[in-house]
Structure 1
Amino acid sequence: MNRFELIIKPLSERKNKVFAERDMISPDTPPRHLSDRARDTVETLVPLILQARREGRSVMLTFGAHTIKNGMAPTLIALMEEGWCTHLATNGAGIIHDWELAFQGQTSEDVRANVCRGEFGTWQETGFNLNLALNVGAWRGFGYGESVGRLVADDGLPIPSTEELETFAAEHMRDDPQRSAAALDLCTVIRRFGLQPGFLEVKHRYPQYGIQAAAVRLGIPFTAHPMFGHDIIYTHPMNCGAAVGRTAERDFLRFADSVAGLTDGVYMSVGSAVMSPMVFEKSLSMSQNLALQRGETIHGHRIFVVDLAESTWDWNQSGEPPMDNPAYYLRYCKTFSRMGGQMSYTTADNRDFLLALYQELSKQTLR
């Protein structure tokens, strides 16, 4: 497949389903439908988060793309601004929706209709800017989330000259092979798309809704954990697998660093059925490996999983269900129940849960 042969259309021609000015939810909005069980979970969580933050432990919040499409950017930003979360993480789609909302105040196309027209995902501004941000970020030593966050925070990207990149690669191929290779990849992109050295302005109309930009501003890790081919930016001819890999690898290792600080800490997985459990289990295993070498263990961590699927199985009291029980196939519960510490599952809409959590936390003080 030659992506240069694709017809790539401007975002202005795309019909969207989510609008920032209409769909963003204020953090003080009362939750609509929160069960007693979900309220109990929030009441359990609040003192645990408070204690973890006072003791310098990790408080990690991972979520799927629907959390962003559901208008939760203001609440997620407030959780960071008030110091309640030490790490945020999402998948590749979450990164895209967050960027499109910051860029144009709209996101979420009609997949069914656009696939039939051969238009799904083939949008110039999203593909061009995000892929370029990852190429530049790979060269600058940033992770995936930070690369896109800085694009929003800075309203653009610094484009080096090809001479600067080639000189760096020649001088540092032995002592810094990763950045040297990234320099040459970026050099190829610059030449192929006729980019001029200097600052490339990318004006964002709604930066106040950019979660990644807020994370950059606040110095809080917001990592992205994409899977190749899952996201619309792969349709654009600027897409560079090496840049995706380099930036995503940095984010994975940064995620693992935060997991290493989870002793007596809190991990929340809200509406992430695949990414969160899969990345967590490898990160925890790596972190335990290093901790055990120091004569320590990662323990006492509390894992709170929130999703829409109903489940009556008590994972703490009854252990893992048998394979003939449908609860066995709630992948996230099965994975997290194997991760030590204590795991609880709550059925709730991510909007109601996060609003209730923030509103209860906002009544507390860290000092």
Structure 2
Amino acid sequence: MGEISKNNPAKLSLDKVTTYHVWDRKNLVTVDDLLKPGIDPAPEYENPELDELAGRIVRAREKGRPVIWSMGAHVIKCGLSMYVIELINRGVITHVASNGAGSIHDFELAYLGGTSEYVPRAIEDGTFGMWEETGRWMNEAIKEGYRQGLGYGQSLAVFVEKNKDRFPYRDYCIFYNAYKKGVPATYHVTIGTDIIDQHPSADFAAKGYTSGNDFLIFCHSVSQLEGGVYLNFGSSVTAPEVFLKALSISRNLGYTVKDITTANFDIIPLGDYRKEVGQDHFHYYYRPRKNIVNRPTSLGGRGFYIEGNHKATIPNLYNKIMKRLNREV
């Protein structure tokens, strides 16, 4: 070990981290828990703005305009993957975006048929997130994608495609279904937030490069958003920050992105969400309110805030979209 100084701070090595095989792990979510669109009834949920939003989504697609679906990992943990997949397959969703956790839960469902470990006990003994197959395979996929110049989401999908025998549940995987349909699936990650960063196989240069490519892919989709719809489900930090930067880049480069519809779905009651709030109110610091609902639509279009549990809002949104497309639910 070299001499420690202000120019050479001490750091830990991951080389001796102990990992564990995942096969006997108890999973809080399995493929058997996933809700089935058109089969499982949607919970009762009434919100007239959801009707208007569904209409805007359908009109956008009828005019060939994009619908970007951004989400946190809880959409998967709530058992709603098949709704996203079905909307991809129906040609409604034209881009899926998520964070690192979203990619991990999706990846684990594809190979293990289950995801979401029990954290409280695992964090006490240092076993949390130390799952050999998840860390090694995802980092292997990211490093291979890095070598090929791919984005993060495409790296994972290509890895699944090349190793289908390892992924018997891939039909339940959002990024893989998006890949098959030619729909971009981008992941906007942070170093140190994801369990795969804890593993000896982690390569932070590869992770940063591939997610950086995904950001540029996302920027392109946002640049085409005129007349389209941007939806965000539950991501209260990553999605609103990434979206605002992508929108700024698009307008800086001269793309017209004014007449847009945005919507944020969450459980936080905001009251009159279109009303400006000052810094003395805690709602001021809730990023989606400003970065998704209000500021991006200042030049035109409309922003929505749909309050409710994903288990209620997403199935009901799906049903309203399908009815407007004159298809059976």
Shift of 1:214: 0.3
Task: Please tell me the residue identity of whatever aligns with 1:301.
Answer: I
1:352 corresponds in structure 2 to 312
2:198 corresponds in structure 1 to 235
- Rounded Cα–Cα distance in structure 1 between residues aligned with 2:218 and 2:246: 7
Aligned residues of 1:61 and 1:87 also touching (Cα < 8 A): yes
Aligned to 2:116, what secondary structure does the other structure show? strand
Q: For 2:218, which of 255, 275, 293 is the aligned residue? A: 255
2:247 corresponds in structure 1 to 284
1:26 corresponds in structure 2 to 36
2:293 corresponds to 1:333 = no
- Rounded Cα–Cα distance in structure 2 between residues aligned with 1:254 and 1:41: 30
1:167 corresponds in structure 2 to none
Aligned residues of 1:53 and 1:366 also touching (Cα < 8 A): no
Aligned residues of 2:229 and 2:260 also touching (Cα < 8 A): yes
- Rounded Cα–Cα distance in structure 1 between residues aligned with 2:295 and 2:326: 31
1:106 corresponds in structure 2 to 114
Matches within 5 A, 1:1-367: 1-21=12-32, 23-28=33-38, 29-34=40-45, 36-37=46-47, 40-155=48-163, 203-291=166-254, 297-315=256-274, 318=275, 320-336=276-292, 337-340=294-297, 341=300, 342-365=302-325
- Rounded Cα–Cα distance in structure 1 between residues aligned with 2:17 and 2:229: 45
Bigger drift between 105-114 and 250-259 goes to 105-114
Shift of 1:98: 0.5
- Rounded Cα–Cα distance in structure 1 between residues aligned with 2:326 and 2:208: 37
- Rounded Cα–Cα distance in structure 2 between residues aligned with 1:102 and 1:298: 36
**Which consecutive residues of structure 1, in runs of 5 or more, have no partner in the other structure?**
157-201
Aligned to 2:28, what secondary structure does the other structure show? strand
Greater share of residues in helix: 1
Aligned to 1:252, what secondary structure does the other structure show? helix
Aligned to 1:109, what secondary structure does the other structure show? coil
Shift of 1:240: 0.5
**Which consecutive residues of structure 2, in runs of 5 or more, have no partner in the other structure?**
1-11
Aligned residues of 1:153 and 1:207 also touching (Cα < 8 A): no
- Rounded Cα–Cα distance in structure 2 between residues aligned with 1:98 and 1:132: 16
Task: Please tell me the residue identity of whatever aligns with 2:303.
Answer: M
- Rounded Cα–Cα distance in structure 2 between residues aligned with 1:79 and 1:310: 27
1:170 corresponds in structure 2 to none
- Per-residue deviation, residues 231-290 of structure 1 (Å, max 9, x unmatched): 000011111111101110110000010000111110101111111100001000000011
Aligned to 1:31, what secondary structure does the other structure show? coil
Task: Please tell me the residue identity of whatever aligns with 1:17.
Answer: L
Q: 1:76 to 1:324 in 2, by over 3 A?
A: same
Q: 1:65 to 1:49 in 2, by over 3 A?
A: same
- Per-residue deviation, residues 181-213 of structure 1 (Å, max 9, x unmatched): xxxxxxxxxxxxxxxxxxxxx511211101111
Q: 1:66 to 1:314 in 2, by over 3 A?
A: closer
Count of aligned pairs between the two proteins:
311
Shift of 1:366: 9.2
Q: 1:366 to 1:247 in 2, by over 3 A?
A: farther
- Rounded Cα–Cα distance in structure 2 between residues aligned with 1:90 and 1:143: 13
- Rounded Cα–Cα distance in structure 1 between residues aligned with 2:257 and 2:91: 23
Shift of 1:33: 4.1
Aligned residues of 2:151 and 2:211 also touching (Cα < 8 A): yes
Aligned to 2:97, what secondary structure does the other structure show? strand
- Per-residue deviation, residues 129-153 of structure 1 (Å, max 9, x unmatched): 0000000111122211111122223
Aligned to 2:171, what secondary structure does the other structure show? helix
Aligned residues of 2:223 and 2:256 also touching (Cα < 8 A): no
Aligned residues of 2:154 and 2:185 also touching (Cα < 8 A): yes
User: Percent identity over the alignment?
Assistant: 36
